[in-house]
Amino acid sequence: MTATEASQLTTVDSIHIHPASNRLRPLLTADLLVPAAAFLVLAPMYAALSVMGHRQLRTSGFDLGIFVQQVSSYAHLRAPTSDLLGTGYNTLGDHFSPVTALLAPVYRLFPSPETLLIAQAVLFAAAAIPLVRWAVREFGTVVGVVVAVAYGLSWGVQAALNFDFHEIAFAMPLLAMSLVALGHRRWHSALLWALPLVFVKEDMGLTVAVIGGLVAFWTAGRTRVLGLLTVAWGLGWVALAVKVIIPLLSSNDSYGQGSKMPPIGSGIADTAHGLVAGDSRAATAFLLLAVTAFAALRSPLLLVAVPTVAWRFLSDNSNFWKPIFHYNAILMVVVFAALIDAVARSRRHGQISERGQRTIFSAVAVFAVAALPFLPIARLATADGWHTDPQAIEAADIASSIPEGETIAASNNLVPQFVATHDVSVFPQRPTDTTTPDWIVVNRAVPAGWPTDEAGDEKAISMALASGYEVRSEIDGIEVLEKVS
């Protein structure tokens, strides 16, 4: 072989080898590896927290039981109903959340409350992927890890995972993708990811409208028109849901959740007073901003949080004000997207130094780690966090002993243990429940506290015994009554 031939062969080899190396190299970049690692750590951790919570009787009929009945209806090609809300109650008459139908095929294969809890864990973890990838691309691997930890362990996310399953799980990755696209000025992508949010819950149309409004404000021409159409899409679905669909399918021809909203004037006055006086609204507002070291305030993306914060704080239902339950989960996506955007904007405009960036993200990391011992996921660091409650084991035995097709009324904290295998309502029965259950299962050792207190349970049991029920067993504090006449 001549030197010329050898040189040509080397050149040919390099042409074939170089593209292959280019195809392999992107698989090893930090903006792919860090988000993937975050998802692979968070998803099983979230699932463990929720599933073990279920096995420790931390779940309830309101709301996990309702969603199990809803998804089970879809899985069997029926209208989405829940006897927990009322006999034959169509759940779309309570909240407009048709997105849960997406879980029907999985639930048909794995009919268990844990299926919903694991699906929720995956969706919550999936929201971390675009946020972390954006952080890595903007600031590098270390900041990407900080965002992964801070979002992944944030109090709003943990509070939601600690409280049953909710439809807002589907909003988490959709909203994350939309906000990241906004941050990158990919206007069309931002709008496309936002559009399906209207099918998550009736109030999410307001969030869609804000995203559309931001795109319209920042752009011109055809893109501005698309932004305005998105505003109309979001507001149109809100109006259609609360004025037509929900009342049509409800039991009283109205939007029941609307009763929790006082007149706008008094709502604003009460909210202002509460924030100044330091009630739970003030605590929630502080925590929402503190989780990002208050840097999120510098980003217009924070406006996306306004509709959710507004309807909650204006409501006269104080449960909406608190930093607990599932109400703050989507706000975690918003504030962390706003954090990344705020620092990136400040850097582009020369308003922050490298040292300033490090200070902000260090404060974010310190807050996340310092709060950790006080949050639900800390249970997984203890042996008790992996212990199944004996009552859950006993409830499984009771469920297997009750014939298929027979109905059960159970304490709210026992409902999820039966809801996948039997038609279940809550005990004591609510006025909307017109059934006569074949069995009553009451948690005497750990009263659910709702729909009545312990005294109410006692009264309802006495009435059941007087109406033809007999006690069949009482094990581990769970009393079982059967209708015999």
Instruction: List the domain boundaries for the chain.
Output: 29-381, 390-483
- This prediction has a pTM of 0.92
pLDDT value, residue 193: 98
pLDDT digits 0-9 by tens, 113-127: 999 999 999 999 999
Task: Give CA–CA dist 285/148, Å, rounded.
Answer: 22
pLDDT value, residue 28: 76
Task: Give CA–CA dist 393/408, Å, rounded.
Answer: 17
pLDDT digits 0-9 by tens, 43-79: 999 999 999 999 999 999 999 999 999 999 999 999 9
Q: What are phi and psi of 133, to 5 degrees?
A: -60, -40
CA distances from 481 to 29, 316, 397, 463, 474 (A): 61, 38, 15, 12, 9
pLDDT value, residue 335: 98
Tokens 């109030």: give the residue: 203
Task: Give CA–CA dist 54/417, Å, rounded.
Answer: 8
With a cut of 70, say whether residue 21 has pLDDT above it. no
With a cut of 70, say whether residue 2 has pLDDT above it. no
- Work out the mean pLDDT of the chain and round it to a whole number: 93
**Amino acid in the structure at residue 223:** T
- Specify burial of residue 139 (Cβ count, 10 A radius: 0-12, 13-18, 19+): buried
pLDDT value, residue 124: 98
Task: Give CA–CA dist 480/441, Å, rounded.
Answer: 5
With a cut of 90, say whether residue 267 has pLDDT above it. no
pLDDT digits 0-9 by tens, 116-155: 999 999 999 999 999 999 999 999 999 999 999 999 999 9
pLDDT digits 0-9 by tens, 225-243: 999 999 999 999 999 999 9
Instruction: Return the closest-CA partner of residue 68 out of 457, 379, 420, 438.
Output: 420
Q: Give the residue, 261 or 304, on which the prediction is more confident.
A: 304
The proportion of the chain whose per-residue pLDDT surpasses 90, expressed as a percent, equals 89
Q: Which two tokens stand for residue 246?
A: 């929900």
- DSSP state string for 369-426: HHHGGGSGGGGGGSGGGGPPPHHHHHHHHHHHHSPTT--EEE-TTTHHHHTTTS-EEE
Cα–chain center distance at 248: 26
Provide the 3-class DSSP secondary structure of residue 76: coil
Buried b (16+ CB within 10 A) or exposed e, 156-183: bbbbbbbbbbbbbbbbbbbbbbbbbbbb
DSSP tag of 291: T
**Sorting pLDDT into bands at 50, 70 and 90, what band is 256?**
confident
pLDDT value, residue 23: 53
Q: What is the CATH number that goes with domain 390-483?
A: 3.40.50
Q: Give the residue, 192 or 261, on which the prediction is more confident.
A: 192
The proportion of the chain whose per-residue pLDDT surpasses 70, expressed as a percent, equals 94
183-205 mean pLDDT: 98
pLDDT value, residue 259: 76
